[in-house]
Amino acid sequence: MSFDQEITLYHLDVLKEVGNIGAGHAATALSTLLGKTIDMKVPLVKIVSFDDMMEMAGGSENIVVSIFLRIEGEISGSMFFILPLPQAESFIRTMTQDESFSFDTPPYSEIGLSAMQEMGNILSGTYLSSLSDFTQLNLYPTVPALSVDMVGAIISYGLVELSQVSDQAIVIDTALFGEGHEGEGVTGQFFLLPDPDSFHVLFKSLGVE
């Protein structure tokens, strides 16, 4: 599918709703996990170049904590949950009650990383199961993988399938933030990147041709 010709504004609105529902449930799960109020921004759905995609995540060299999984099943794609280091540190400290956890120098504490991994499992699982309920599609996510690295290196991995067909990606970007923190940077960001062949299945499942 060539994105610029066949995807209309209406399609983009439908994808926005996908982000809304998925990340909305994930925000609730995160809120329960941390015992804090978590809000979300209105999802952004954009058709972007690969370089623009990196800019949306803070630039190629931006060092982040990421949870990445592949979605398989009736539709396929890549999903990332990306956290700035200070945010991830603060979440890990809350979950493990270990105030000494830090991303300053590797190797990082195993328990801390394991807590982060678990949080990624819960949030991405919540996002995808609500997406599956909403679309009635069977989705089989891989076990999420955790990485602390440059965002360009991480996201380009999720662009491999897409890059065979296109030089652009449709990204559903949803940001979460803590109560009263909207101006102070994002708590976490979901990127959902459906593979090109999946769009028609996704739209069909939602009654859009």
Partner 1 sequence: MGEIKQQVIKVGIADLKVVNAPDTIRTAGLGSCVGLVLYDQVSKRAGLLHIMLPNSILSRSDTVNVAKFADTGVKALIEQMGVSTTRLKAKMAGGAQMFQFSSQKDMMRIGPRNVGAIKDQLKLHRIPLLGEDVGGNSGRTIEFDTATSLLHIRTVNAGETIL
Interface residues with partner 1 (CB under 8 A) are: 2, 50-51, 54, 59-61, 63, 68, 70, 106, 142-143, 145, 147-154, 156-157, 159-161, 163-167
Interatomic CA distance for residues 80 and 25, integer angstroms: 16
By C-beta, is 136 or 164 nearer to partner 1? 164
Nearest approach in angstroms of CB 1 to partner 1 is: 11
The per-residue DSSP string of the chain comes to: --HHHH--HHHHHHHHHHHHHHHHHHHHHHHHHHTS-EEEPPPEEEEEEHHHHHHHTT-TT-EEEEEEEEEEESS-EEEEEEEEHHHHHHHHHHHH--TT--SSSSSPPHHHHHHHHHHHHHHHHHHHHHHHHHHT--EEEPPPEEEEEEHHHHHHHHTHHHHTT-SEEEEEEEEEEETT-GGG--SEEEEEEE-GGGHHHHHHHTT--
By C-beta, is 43 or 194 nearer to partner 1? 194
Nearest approach in angstroms of CB 79 to partner 1 is: 12
Nearest approach in angstroms of CB 18 to partner 1 is: 24
Residue 86 structure tokens = 């200070």
By C-beta, is 104 or 209 nearer to partner 1? 104
Nearest approach in angstroms of CB 202 to partner 1 is: 19
Nearest approach in angstroms of CB 32 to partner 1 is: 27
